[in-house]
Amino acid sequence: MASKTPIKIRVRRMDYEIPAIPRYWYRENTWITHFMNALSTSFPDGERFFIHAVRNFESQITDPQLRSQIRAFIGQEANHGKEHEAFNNALIEQHDLPLKSKMGFMKKALAYAKKRYSPREQLALTVGFEHFTAILANLMLEQTDVIESLDAMYGDMFMWHAVEETEHKSVAYDVFQEVDGDYWVRVSGMAKATFFFMLITFRMQYSLLKHDGKLKDWRGALGFAKFMLLKPGMLTKIIPEYLDFYRPNFHPWQHDNRALIEKYVEQLGEHELRAMDAA
């Protein structure tokens, strides 16, 4: 059974050129577009928080492999933040979306977490968020038509992000196990992450739909319901893997999905800056 990262974690610099983005860039669906916009908006601050939470414990890690994986994790998350920030700024410039003002709530939630939770609880929260992103990434990679068929920069960006979330999916987890490992701290971190994730994402989506006057776009709402519940089932299909996390002997690589990312790794190879060895 895998207990550590079994693949190379590659840090890539993408520098995407951002095209004219249709207002409802996700297949002209208002609700799904704003769901994806909500995710993209939450990434830069969220990822800075994850980096901060892992960095707090970096000096306690002695295993050279895990140390280099931490550096790769930080490099990848920093690049995700950079690219999503550029995309978010383009949405603001091109469509005058109020992303900055709607971000206030997210910033307050993260400031609350930093103030209220101890470093090990912040790390456990990060481990929970990382599992969330990993299982959403897995779904996107498995059901390639979710993103791949978009055939535009934003499709590529979400795909690249999904590949790297898969590559580094156990780094925060392994750090947590090394420095703490308490089951209850880990699962309560996940419970908090679930609460924050739902609250922040759906609140932001609601605000953007309200801003656009699209809350009553029933066609968009139905498409979104199908997207969440049936195909690809962003909510329903991840439930078994989500629940896996609550098993005492869980490890992210027990679900070995290396094969899924192989074709994308090749595609992304030209942007590689450095690669950290597998365990």
Structural Rg of the chain based on CA atoms: 18
For the bound state, the minimum distance from the C-beta of residue 69 to Fe ion, rounded and expressed in Å, comes to 12
Nearer to Fe ion, 128 or 223 (CB): 128
Tokens 């196990």 belong to: 177
Q: Which residues pair with 245 in a beta bridge?
A: none
Q: How far apart are CA 152 and CA 154, in angstroms?
A: 5
Query: Exposed, middle or buried, 138 (CB in 10 Å: 0-12/13-18/19+)?
Result: buried
Task: Identify which of residues 51 and 91 has a Cβ nearer to Fe ion in the complex.
Answer: 51
Give the per-residue contact string, 149-168, with Fe ion (x = CB under 5 A; - = no). ----------------x---
In this structure, are residues 67 and 58 in contact, taking their beta carbons and an 8 Å threshold?
yes
Locate tokens 């995309």: which residue?
A: 87
Report the residue from 10, 80, 84, 237 that binds Fe ion according to the rule CB under 5 A.
80
- Min CB(13)–Fe ion separation in Å: 14
Nearer to Fe ion, 49 or 227 (CB): 49
Contact between 168 and 76 (Cβ < 8 Å): yes
- Decide: 43 and 157 in contact? Cβ < 8 Å: no
Concatenate the DSSP letters of all residues of 88-103 into one string: HHHHHHHH---HHHHT
Tell me the window of 57-65, 74-82, 174-182, 250-258 that interacts with Fe ion (CB under 5 A): 74-82
Nearest residue to Fe ion, scored by beta-carbon proximity: 80
Q: What character string, x for contact with Fe ion (CB under 5 A) and - otherwise, covers 130-149?
A: x-------------------
Give yes or no for residue 12 binding Fe ion (CB under 5 A). Answer: no
Binding span for Fe ion by CB under 5 A among 13-21, 25-33, 124-132, 207-215: 124-132
Binding region for Fe ion (CB under 5 A): 77, 80, 130, 165
